[in-house]
Amino acid sequence: MENINLMTDSDLISSLKEDQKSSECLMELVDRHSGIYMTMVNNYTPKSNKSGPTYKTELISDKNYYIYQAALKYNEEKKTKFSTYLGNETRWMCLNLYNREKNKSMKEVSTDDEDSIIKLIDPQNVSQDFINSEITQKINQIIEDDPDSRISKVFKMRYSDPAGNKLTPWRRISEKLNLSIQGCINIHNRTIDRIKKELKKEL
């Protein structure tokens, strides 16, 4: 077998598939292509205010394994360079993992439980986890996009009490908006019901 460093990617992969000096061939591929792999992981794994989704850590720690798997699936006859193939494979893997984690997190939110919805609206309770903030953005969009401007005002006042209390009293909201207390509550509850229906469509 020729010098590993002088072998082309195709030769390295062929030797790897034939189990000839497989560990040496793999490490040479890893040395050559870790850059493109890490670029894709960093570009296509969502950022987080905390440590980030756990799967990003796994993608980094299992880098050699994923490059190995890509090499086994690589088909030189398609006239695509291995670096390009690895980049595309890694990008799709990151996006698929993200969507899987997002769907999993969405299902953990009870769309029939008003308290679960409210916890995602109340800025004092919103999780900093990336996936939960995605759901929160969806909820806020539903509220903001409603043509009834009173809805946005009711929710902003209810969950953004300047006095620092957890919830703004309905009495204060009714006085500010010149609505009855029951009218404010009805607007709030109708919107919560609509949010439940919209979130169910995402599941």
pLDDT tens digits for range 13-52:
999 988 877 889 999 999 999 999 999 999 888 655 444 4
Measure Cα distances from 20 to 4, 16, 161 in Å.
11, 6, 68
- Do 102 and 8 fall within a single domain? yes
- Do 158 and 69 fall within a single domain? no
- Do 179 and 119 fall within a single domain? yes
Residue 68 vs residue 109, higher pLDDT: 68
What residue type is 160 in one-letter code?
A: S
Query: Among 78, 107, 136, which residue terminates a domain?
Result: 107
- Do 140 and 84 fall within a single domain? no
- pLDDT at 126 (0 to 100): 42
Query: Among 56, 78, 107, which residue terminates a domain?
Result: 107
- Do 32 and 89 fall within a single domain? yes
Confidence of residue 192 (pLDDT cuts 50, 70, 90): confident
For residue 47, the tally of other CB atoms under 10 A from its CB is: 9
- Do 57 and 137 fall within a single domain? no
The answer to whether 74 and 13 have CB atoms below 8 angstroms apart is yes
Q: Mean of the pLDDT values across residues 60-66? A: 92
- pLDDT at 95 (0 to 100): 84
- Do 99 and 25 fall within a single domain? yes
Range of the domain at 53: 4-107
- Do 8 and 94 fall within a single domain? yes
Of the listed ranges 6-15, 36-45, 151-160, 174-183, the least confidently predicted one is 151-160
Count of the separate structural domains present in the chain: 2
Of the listed ranges 16-25, 67-76, 79-88, the least confidently predicted one is 16-25
